[in-house]
Homo-oligomer: A and B are copies of this chain.
Amino acid sequence: MCRWIAYRGETIALSHYVTEPSHSLVSQSIQALESTASTNGDGFGLGWYGDHPEPGLYKEVRPAWSDENLRYLCRHLRSHLFFAHVRAATGTPITRPNCHPFACSGWLFMHNGFVGGWPRLRRRIEALIPDELYPARIGTTDSEALFLAILGAGGMKDPISGAEKVLAQVSDMVSEVGPDCLRFTAALTNGKDLYAFRYAANDFANTLYYRQTETEILIVSEPIDRDHTRWKTVPENHVLIAPEGEAAFVQPFLDRKLEAAE
């Protein structure tokens, strides 16, 4: 399991949320509180939008807590929309390309979760990635494969629909080959709109919180401070949608019990 935060709002130094809060993402790298893996020391990554047309990426295989580069960069990199992620690997190697977030065609994605039975399902899930996006598969994680499959399933036009299509297919595969489970707590953005998913098949979903003001929204795996009254929970099998310039809202995501009932 991993920990991540996603921010959109005024342009700020990344340090504001990545390194400075009492229970910042960097603190969570060595001592997470709401995760089965309290240590998230298998690499980390930053993704951010700035003046350059392509988002920036910084990935490193060392733990976030001891990376002096990270502290300097978070003070100096400023962005109005950024992702940050600390990894607890679930089987794939600790390499930079396997660190989150992943980038493709101006989109960023990061994930906390796993696909049960991945070694057996990998080929079938990779087959969901269309040919034109396959060169963007730089690493070997289940997370990156889900990202590219979602983009390939129309996700660049309709991210919710793309994600529902892919997660429905993958949930079926996991149940069929397993019975195993799938957890998908993930963030996706095109640099303007933000989407945060909290979903699981055959299991509990990993935690997901957010808080918003008139000018900013912050979405997190677990709160970065002790003031829990400020944080709202995204319910299981729901997606948080924060369109550019509008208030965020929550709606059901792939609620298959609902589907079955209909």
Contact = CB atoms under 8 A, between A and B. Distances in A.
B62 A50 contact: no
B75 A58 contact: no
A73 B58 contact: yes
A93 B89 contact: no
Interface string A129-144: 0010011011110000
Interface stretch (A94-102, A200-208, A238-246, A247-255): A94-102
A80 interface: no
How many copies the complex holds: the figure is 4
**Which secondary structure dominates where chain A touches chain B?**
mixed
A54 B131 CA distance: 36
12 contacts: A41-B41, A41-B63, A48-B76, A54-B75, A61-B62, A66-B94, A69-B96, A77-B77, A93-B97, A95-B97, A119-B135, A140-B140
Interface of A: 13, 30-31, 39, 41-42, 48, 50-52, 54, 56-63, 66, 68-69, 72-73, 75-78, 89, 93-97, 119-120, 122-123, 131, 134-135, 137-140
